[in-house]
Amino acid sequence: MDTTVTTGSEESVWGGGNRPLNASYGKMMMWFFIVSDALTFSGFLVSYGFSRFKFIETWPIADEVFTHVPFFHGNYPMIYVAFMTFILIMSSVTMVLAVDAGHKMKKNRVIWYMFATIIGGAIFVGSQAWEWATFIKGDFGAVETKGGRILQFVHADTGERAALADFAQTLPEDRVKHIKSEGVWYMQEGYKTSYSLNEVVEGFKASPNILIRTETINEEGEKTVLDRSGSLAKLANATQVVEGANLIHNEYGSRLFADFFFFITGFHGFHVFSGVVINIIIFFNIILGTYERRGHYEMVEKVGLYWHFVDLVWVFVFTFFYLV
Amino acid sequence: MAHDHKLEIFRGLWKFKSNVQKIWGVLAFLSLVTAIEVILGIYKPAVLTQNYFIGMKLLNWIFIILTLVKAYYIAWDFMHLRDEKSSLRRAIVWTPIFLICYLIFILLFEADYIYTVFKEGYLSWNF
């Protein structure tokens, strides 16, 4: 890497010198990779913006979607995501400290800082898995209309969200789940909801305290709640019950929201995961003394660049998915 | 590898004695910015949500600006772009910024157009 050809132009950077950018080959390539990966992520985030601007009046409100914190009950919008952000920034800090210790050739310090970085990354990936599981499982349940729109339920007196279980009736129905062996071709039903559409509709008719909340956002920036007669008229269009979210149905609102959530946070989570794997490899290399023998810890700096980039992307995902 | 670090941030307003101290200083600053974002996101002051600037709520502008501030300090101090040659820095920073601005402009304009088609055209989708 450091072999040089002695030519007359070596002193002159403009003449092509030895290293016009004063960065090694490996570091340059890491930067080029990061630039192209940044463009991939911006492609995702901008297409999220595209879909959101297209359905600006009906897009889900993130504060109402991500409200859970593990081991606690109640409504805590954003707290957990803020915690995840802090964990990732913190692991970025231990990474820079590792690079700094590497400059000073302090092997044991590099080992411990790398270890802390790996732990931070693992906590973040675990948190994201939990976030996915909560999102997929769903919260209150909703019904979907013929046009693919989502109708949610609220209590008329308090304005709080109502879960399907709060009002749905249990009717003596016998509904068999459609399985693949009974299907004509690969047809099968993804999942069976805990209440049938009929049970929800009958329960709704019997409880005057429940109203329907549509996807439309009103001037105060809140979802529109219909009155009782409007709710009943709207419910006549319902075609199925939705609990939780997947790529096709999403109880929180627009299905594109769930699609982008899975795609963007999934792609980012994959980056964090591969970052953790690369960090582990480097971690063992440091323990084995590879870089001590090589004479420099530039490899730590290179994986560090990747790790900070993952943090950098999360800062944007955090803003555009959870805040804006 | 650049062994000498530039130890001041905020255009020299805040100078650190060592690189390690600078790292902790930047962490404190980033945590503060994140805390401000979260507090604004939870309380959503009415002044910021009801006033608009170029079609977007003031609150959202604040979020985006604070995000760019955070991105700047992550790239400059954690990825030590501050210590790199300015030619490398410019190549890495301005190329994506130009491309991303173009992408944002073109896609958001198109999305807004489709929004008006959905709203005013003879098309029914919200039923």
Residues B74 and B15 occupy one common structural domain: yes
Question: Which domain does B124 fall in, by range?
Answer: 85-127
**75-114 in B: which are within 8 Å (CB) of A?**
75, 77-80, 84-85, 87-88, 91-92, 95-96, 99-100, 103-104, 107-108, 110-112, 114
User: Does residue A8 have a pLDDT over 60?
Assistant: no
Residue B2's pLDDT band (boundaries 50, 70, 90)? very low
pLDDT over 90, % of chain A: 60
The domain tally of chain B equals 2
A116 touches chain B (CB under 8 A): no
Tell me the torsion sign for CA atoms A75, A271, A88, A91.
positive
Interface subset of A 42-71, CB within 8 angstroms of B: 42-43, 46-47, 49-56, 58, 63
pLDDT at residue A5 is higher than 70? no
pLDDT for A253-281, tens place per residue?
999 999 999 999 999 999 999 999 999 99
Does the beta carbon of A206 lie under 8 angstroms from any beta carbon of chain B? no
Q: How close B37 comes to chain A (CA, Å)?
A: 8
The residue type at A305: L
pLDDT average, residue stretch B100-110: 95
pLDDT of residue B3: 54
**Which residues of B fall within a CB distance of 8 Å from A86?**
31, 34
Residues of chain B in contact with residue A49, where contact means CB-CB under 8 angstroms, are: 104, 107-108, 111
The alpha carbon of residue B13 is apart from the nearest alpha carbon of chain A, in Å, by 22
Is pLDDT at B13 greater than 80 in this prediction? no
Same-domain status, B89 and B115:
yes
Average of pLDDT values for A153-164? 90
Same domain, B54 and B111: no
pLDDT at B1: 41
In this prediction, residue A9 has a pLDDT band, given cuts at 50, 70 and 90, of: very low
Count CB pairs under 8 A between chains A and B: 147
Q: Decide if A239 touches B, using CB distance below 8 A.
A: no
Taking only the tens place, the pLDDT of each residue in B52-89 is: 888 788 999 999 999 999 999 999 999 989 888 898 99
Of A39, A58, A316, the CB nearest to B96: A39
B116: contact with A, CB 8 A cutoff: no
Do B106 and B72 reside in the same domain of the chain? no
Residue A7 has pLDDT above 70, yes or no: no
In chain A, residues with a C-beta closer than 8 Å to the C-beta of B63 are: 319, 323-324
Sign of CA dihedral B76, B78, B79, B85: positive
pLDDT of amino acid A293: 92
Q: What is the pLDDT of residue A63?
A: 84
pLDDT digits (tens, 9 = 90+) for A64-79: 888 888 888 878 888 8
> What is the rounded average pLDDT of the residues A144-171?
89
- One-letter amino acid at A215 equals E
Contact B78 A311 (CB under 8 A): yes
Residues B53 and B95 in one domain: no
B92 and B119 together in one domain: yes
**Residue A198: pLDDT above 70?**
yes
Only one residue has tokens 């954003």, namely: A78
> In angstroms, how far is the first alpha carbon of chain B from the final one?
61
Integer-rounded Cα Rg, in Å, for chain A is 26
**Rounded to a whole number, what is the distance in Å from the CA of A52 to chain B's nearest CA?**
8
**Mean of pLDDT values over A137-156:** 91
The mean pLDDT of A111-135, rounded to a whole number, is: 95
Task: Look at residue A13 in the predicted model and tell me its pLDDT.
Answer: 64
Kindly list the structural domains of chain A, giving each domain's residue range(s) and its CATH number in brackets, ordered by start.
33-138+257-323 (1.20.120.80), 142-243 (no CATH)
Contact A324 B60 (CB under 8 A): yes
Q: How far apart are CA A303 and CA A299, in angstroms?
A: 6
Contact A117, A81 (CB under 8 A): no
Tell me the C-alpha distance between A139 and A258, whole Å: 14
Same domain, B33 and B78: yes
Question: Which residue did the predictor score with more confidence, A75 or A16?
Answer: A75
Is residue A1 very low, low, confident or very high in pLDDT (cuts 50, 70, 90)?
Answer: very low
- Tens digit of each residue's pLDDT (9 = 90 or more) over B109-120: 999 999 999 888
Same domain, yes or no, for B93 and B78? no
| Rounded average pLDDT over A88-103 | 94
pLDDT digits (tens, 9 = 90+) for A281-308: 999 999 999 999 999 999 999 999 999 9
Chain-centroid distance, C-alpha A207: 36
Looking at the structure, do residues B75 and B55 belong to the same domain, yes or no? Answer: yes
How many residues would you count in chain B?
A: 127
Is residue B58 within 8 Å of residue B105, measured between CB atoms? no
Structure confidence by residue, pLDDT tens digits, A220-245: 788 889 999 999 999 998 999 999 99
ipTM for the predicted complex comes to 0.90
* Mean predicted lDDT score pLDDT of chain A: 88
The nearest CA of chain B is from the CA of A185 a distance in Å of 30
Tell me how many degrees the CA angle A104-A106-A111 measures, rounded to the nearest 5.
Answer: 130
To test the contact with chain A by mutation, choose from B31, B58, B79, B120 the residue with the greatest count of A C-beta atoms within 10 A, namely B79
Dihedrals phi, psi of A152, to nearest 5 degrees: -105, 170
- Assign A10 a pLDDT band (cuts: 50, 70, 90): low
Whole-angstrom Cα distance, residue B64 to residue B120? 30
* Same domain, yes or no: B19 and B57: yes
> Is there a single domain that holds both residue B20 and residue B62?
yes
User: What pLDDT is attached to residue B68?
Assistant: 95
pLDDT of residue A314: 95
Do B71 and B98 lie in one domain? The reply is no
Average pLDDT taken over every residue of chain B: 87
- Chain B partners of A222 at a C-beta cutoff of 8 Å? none
pLDDT higher than threshold 90 for residue A15? no
C-alpha dist (Å) from residue A127 to A131, A276, B32, B115: 6, 14, 22, 35
On whether the pTM is more than 0.80, the answer is yes
Minimum CA–CA partner of B76 in chain A: A308
